[in-house]
Structure 1
Amino acid sequence: MDGFASLLRSIERLVGFKCSNYKEDYIKRRILSRMRLTNTADYEAYHKYLLGNPQEIDPLRNALTINVTKFFRDPEVFEVLRREVLPDLARHKKTIRIWCAGCATGEEPYSIAILAHELTALRRDVNVTVYATDIDTGALQKAMAGIYDEKALENVDRRRLRKHFISRDDGTFEVRSHIRDFVKFRQHDLMSGVPIARYLDAVTCRNVTIYFTEKQKNELARLFYSALTADGYYIMGKTEYLGREVEHLFTPYNIAQKILRKAA
């Protein structure tokens, strides 16, 4: 029996992570990082270690689902959201609903919440809700705690830092409650085929699909299409793209920043 295939079956059973949805090279890199840390020489040895050491399940899950992120990652994208996307939505509706899919440890949904706070300070008749989801419950716990180090905040200017964060004695910063109130965190598997909500005005899913197979990327595009309201916005990662099978579902809005709109 192939050692790698056998290991993947155990990972799906023990960790609850569906490896077949992701590129094989990505899975192998993540497993190899755990093999180095556990001093296991090959897939068979690591498989045996995993089965004999239940405490390895959480570190492996974290390795498989890890996302490197920060507040206002790719600032130009958020500037378009601030100047164009959110004001456009506010012109047409009083309730704006945004899904931040694959939110990791929360930097992106809180960044959107800061923009929402700035919008609603000018438009008090508008209400914004950010649904933030991820498959990794450990990452969601960190997100809900809302405590970040200085490096995660390097794109946050001093005015926003003072206004929206509490400086803690240990050098970290805590998101203030008026920003937290915009965000609803929930565990969700993007591969479930079910959106977190319907009739959404925008979906952000950035730097997530780069790990998926082409088939899963296409299914995810269809999922977001079904979740968005007419002319809703879909914001992708800078290096991501739509497959040919699904590119007709969306029209470009800002090509440079990978912002699309739902096609009629």
Structure 2
Amino acid sequence: MTGTTGGPTGDASGGAAPRRTHVVTGAGSGIGRAAADRLHARGDRLVLLARTEERAGALRTAYDGAVVEVVDLADPAALAAWTLPEGIDALDSVLHVAGVVHLGPVAELDDAAWHETMTVNLTAPVLLTRALLPALRAARGTAVFVNSSAGRVGHAGWASYAASKFGLRGFADALREEEAANGVRVSTVYPGRTATPMQESVHAQEGADYDAERWIDPATVAAAVLTCVDLPRDATMPEVVVKPGPR
């Protein structure tokens, strides 16, 4: 597989664009699923990571032809042992979308919840990106980190989640500077509240009624993510902030 350096619409000679390859986490729902839907619909190759074999089976059914691997992002040892499937040596993008959130004040932080949040939201993207760097460099690909508005401003009750997202922001910033000379682009997308299963869980933890119509459509955030990936090579989008529009 040879990586590409342009968008999905065609090459300079007017021919069809080569098939592109992407690793996506969190493709089972929300923003990750919306991004995977678009990539699959245009014929790109998908490598999807699933936490369990049950979820992997559902993804194989939803995305015919995708490579689906069972890797628990909450298990650093399993993630560190994972490698790209044989035959894939160049990667056009890795989309870090998976995440977890546990709300609560600092005085009542649960140790297990803290460790899961930091592992899934920060350690997993770090380990995965490090493992995929050779393939990203080979294709001059793009790493996209789906962060959060909580990665820009911390609020009461959001300490563990905000800490993980602030850490992810710092990692992406450092990676961006380090890999520029290798042609790897690094983008961080900061969505505000988005109508996903995670947002429904947040509302439940807050004791608030959930109305999906109030929040951003996951497909809208996915469009921003893929804009970072498909942007022509003469530019990069280091940061993208996506907020709910007026209702």
TM category (shorter chain) comes to: 0.3 to 0.5
Of structures 1 and 2, the one scoring higher in RCO (CA 8 A, sep 6+) is 2
The normalised TM-score by structure 1 is: 0.39
- Point out the structure with the larger strand share: 1
TM-score normalised by length of structure 2: 0.41
Looking at CA atoms only, which structure, 1 or 2, has the larger radius of gyration?
Answer: 1
